[in-house]
C-alpha cells in the first residue's frame, strides 16, 4: 500500500510538472495528422487543445472523467479522410513523448511508465469505442435524412 501511494503521488507530481511539455508535443502530433498541419487557432485546433488537456489531466486521477473530451476528439477523427488506425494512433503518441521526457529529466521509473502506458492502452480502447459510435451515428443520420426528406410522402402512406 505504501509503495502504491508513493507511486501515485510521484506520478501526479511528475505529470503536473511536465504537463505543458507533454501537451505541446501531443497537440503538435495530433494536428499534424491532417494533410496540411492544422493551425492552433482553427476550430479543430481549439477543440483538440482543450480536449487533450482534459484527457491528460484525467490520466493523473484515479477516476476516469475524460469521456466527453474523448468524444470531442474522436467525433472529429471519425469523419476524416484517414483510416481509423492512423486516427487513433494519436492516443499512443504520449508513450513516446513520456519516454523521451523521462530519459531527459528524471531517473527512469519503469513502474511509473508501465502504469502510464496501461492507462493509455485503456484510453485507446475507449477511444476506439467512441470512434465506432460516431461511425454508426453517420449511418443513422443517412437513414434519418432520407425519411425527413420524404416526410409528407411517408405521412400520407401511413395515414
Which residues contact another protein by CB under 8 A? 33-39, 42-44, 46-47, 75-76, 79-81, 134, 137-138, 141-142, 144-146, 148-153, 155-156
Please report how close the Cβ of residue 81 comes to another protein at its closest, in angstroms. 7
Please report how close the Cβ of residue 33 comes to another protein at its closest, in angstroms. 8
Please report how close the Cβ of residue 127 comes to another protein at its closest, in angstroms. 17
User: What's the rounded Cα separation, in Å, for the pair 60 and 41?
Assistant: 27
Q: Provide the sign of the torsion angle of the four alpha carbons 59, 65, 71, 76, taken in this order.
A: negative
Amino acid at each position: 500500500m505504501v509503495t502504491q501511494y508513493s507511486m501515485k503521488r510521484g506520478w501526479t507530481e511528475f505529470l503536473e510538472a511536465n504537463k505543458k511539455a507533454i501537451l505541446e508535443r501531443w497537440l503538435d502530433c495530433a494536428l499534424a495528422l491532417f494533410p496540411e498541419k492544422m493551425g492552433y487557432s482553427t476550430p479543430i485546433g481549439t477543440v483538440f487543445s482543450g480536449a487533450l488537456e482534459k484527457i491528460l489531466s484525467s490520466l493523473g486521477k484515479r477516476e476516469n472523467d475524460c469521456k466527453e473530451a474523448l468524444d470531442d476528439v474522436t467525433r472529429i477523427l471519425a469523419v476524416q479522410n484517414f483510416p481509423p488506425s492512423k486516427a487513433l494512433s494519436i492516443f499512443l503518441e504520449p508513450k513516446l513523448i513520456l519516454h523521451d521526457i523521462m530519459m531527459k529529466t528524471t531517473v527512469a521509473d519503469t513502474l511509473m511508465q508501465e502504469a502510464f502506458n496501461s492507462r493509455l492502452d485503456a484510453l485507446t480502447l475507449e477511444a476506439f469505442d467512441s470512434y465506432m459510435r460516431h461511425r454508426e451515428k453517420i449511418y443513422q443520420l443517412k437513414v434519418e435524412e432520407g425519411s425527413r426528406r420524404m416526410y409528407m410522402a411517408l405521412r400520407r402512406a401511413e395515414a
